Amino acid sequence: MISRVRAALSRQLSHPSGTGGKVIARLMNSGNRDLNEQAIARLDAQRGTRVLDLGFGGGLTFAPLWERGATVVGIDRAGDMVAAARARHADEVAAGRLELHEGDVARLPLADGAVDRILTVNTVYFWPDLAAALGELHRVLAPNGRVVLAIRDMKVMQQVDHTVFMLRSPDELATALQTAGFTDAAVETPPGGKTHLIIATR
């Protein structure tokens, strides 16, 4: 029974949908708030900066990025999350402050060098081909752009279904970023050691 519940919850975290997806989106907004703030702080987003939030879920990063004068490109593979964000932020979409797409990291619906910054929070667990995913991030990021990957420590993630979540260490991600062509890949671990931010430059 516990394993079935864990598997169902893990699948919803991976790909929120339906009524359960709405609940998961609210939980993600609450649980990811601090990590989102830490990731945004390291982006150095300014007025006119075009930021890709990959796997935006409940859209918690949008308002803080707009406050900095950035425009946001949101891509999520969960169609329900994209539809909800499009309805909730219709004015921002109409004003050109927000662009939304349904898509997967393996084939991002963006042109080469389309964005200046990329952040993704608690999504790398769902990338089966890490090298291909990071290759796509490298492709859509403009020269001198910055990417921030935010994750929870592997010890914190032991209760998830490991058939859904692929856990990777921060050092493994930093090495993979370097291999994908990024430079200056570095790991920052906030006090407590429960989360990590991996930052690199295009």
Place of tokens 């990811």: 32
> Region 11-38: what's the mean pLDDT?
63
Sign of CA dihedral 82, 86, 88, 91: positive
pLDDT, one tens digit per residue, over 132-176 is: 999 999 999 999 999 999 999 988 887 777 677 888 999 999 999
CA distance 51 to 54: 9
- How many domains does the structure of the chain reveal? 1
Place of tokens 């499009």: 86
The widest CA-to-CA distance across the chain, in whole angstroms, is 50
Tokens of 82: 């994209």
Place of tokens 């709405």: 22
Bridge partners for 76 per DSSP: 102
Please enumerate in sequence order all residues whose Cβ is within 8 A of that of 13, keeping only pairs 6 or more positions apart, or say none.
24, 28, 160, 164, 165
Give me the amino acid identity at 150: A
Residues spanned by the domain of 28: 2-201
Please enumerate in sequence order all residues whose Cβ is within 8 A of that of 23, keeping only pairs 6 or more positions apart, or say none.
none
Phi and psi of 110, rounded to 5°? -135, 155
Q: How far is CA 135 from the centre of its chain?
A: 15
Q: In this structure, what is the dihedral angle of CA atoms 175, 121, 94, 101, given to the nearest 10 degrees?
A: 60
Is the predicted pLDDT of residue 117 greater than 60, yes or no? yes
pLDDT, one tens digit per residue, over 100-111 is: 999 999 999 999
Q: What is the CATH number of the domain that holds 189?
A: 3.40.50.150
